[in-house]
Amino acid sequence: MFKLLLHLLFGSIFVYAGAVKAWDPGLFVMDVRSFDLLPDPYAAWLAMFLPWLEIFSGLAVITGVLRKGGLLVLNASLLAFLVAIGISWYRGIDIQCGCFGSSEASSNYAELIVRDLVLLALGLYLQIKGGRKVTSSPSSSPVV
Q: How many CB atoms lie within 10 A of CB 18?
A: 21
- Specify if 25 maps to a domain: yes
Has residue 31 been placed in a domain? yes
CA dist 24 and 28 (Å) reads 7
pLDDT band at 133 (very low <50, low <70, confident <90, very high): very low
111 part of a folded domain: yes
- Domain hosting 82: range is 2-131
Kindly state whether residue 90 falls inside one of the protein's structural domains.
yes
Average pLDDT value for residue range 11-21: 96
The reply to whether 136 falls in a domain is no
Domain count, the chain: 1
Whether 141 is covered by a domain: the verdict is no
Predicted TM-score (pTM) of the model is 0.83
Whether residue 140 lies inside any domain: the answer is no
Q: Would residue 40 count as lying in a domain? A: yes
The CA distance from 26 to 16, in Å, is 17
Chain centroid offset of residue 131 CA: 17
DSSP label at 141?
Answer: S
Overall average pLDDT of the 70-83 stretch = 97
